[in-house]
Structure 1
């Protein structure tokens, strides 16, 4: 019914700004009773894709849940208890920093809640993408509203010059676009979706400030794991 909405995910943002309600309908907030932990991307009616490292922030006695359908990180939105968490089997610190969260319940789609499309190829260098998320406790110019800003993919060789030679196959590096006003535009929201056109290109892993390369996880490179985790009976060739 709502598949016709998907082309509306095509963005052209020249500076960071607050997202309008329903403008990033695939955005999810993973929370505990102590507030927002990290962002995620809605894949379907049961599954959220996010950062494995971010989920490590959840303390033993905290109960995580997923909120969708709101741009305000303090608003209740539509919430679902977390049924299971599946970290990538090769996750170690910053490597393979990706996880799937299965909700207890069924996410119903509408004009403010939609799944994002999975990619059909890897993102090339020099591509402008949209990164969305919320500001965290360490960010300046705090706001409860969902923010969005452009980032540009850079060649792996350029990233390695900044960060060293050890770049995994499933990692992609980006730089913030030059138009941003430093701290006012910056947000460090791990697990946040990074979209190329209407496709989920990456999940935010290590966002960094302007002129320093950020490192994220390429969704295309982990598609076989995503497929098998969501449906263990699937045969991946």
Structure 2
């Protein structure tokens, strides 16, 4: 009821020929996706009078906001699908294990998973065998890193901060960490050939009544997804 009533004022906007109104997108931290950026650019260029809010939250909270119709739609990791929502894959990213400049493994080549045994770890709150980062959790178990987790966060930027500060090694998306690796801030650790893949999804509540701005933004993003083959939405760094 709250989700429906809170949208009434927004649904009253845009009765003229122009597309006005407000859209709210809930996203997981550090959704780095050129296709999503392109959808936003096209939306603003076509409808400059429409406004936008992008809120950042943990993936579970993103799902909750979309389910309760407090967000126009969401983009996040998905552990278990909510039967009330529609899901569409936006992009696939691959995770690597990294350390910061203060770590003893920084700058060392020829490492193997055996070199990571016993290392302190920082990671994401969804890094569990039954959650959205299951592939990363399996890698962590394989490298014998699952007993010494010293720091967790739902924010990618905060996980990165702890890695750089030397709290421990930790997982990050390869395409997100690429610039830090080039700058010598992060150092990639094994495995190098088989990094775990994680899919990022678009979440839509089919029961949500959308204003024209929300409809235009969502349809624009969905059109880009439909015309871009999967290989064009895979970011492996």
- Fold shared by both chains (TM-score > 0.5): no
Structure having greater relative contact order (Cα 8 Å, sep ≥ 6): 2
Of Structure 1 and Structure 2, the greater helix share is in 2
Which structure has the larger Rg? 2
| TM-score interval, normalised by the smaller of the two chains | under 0.3
TM-score, with structure 2 as normaliser: 0.25
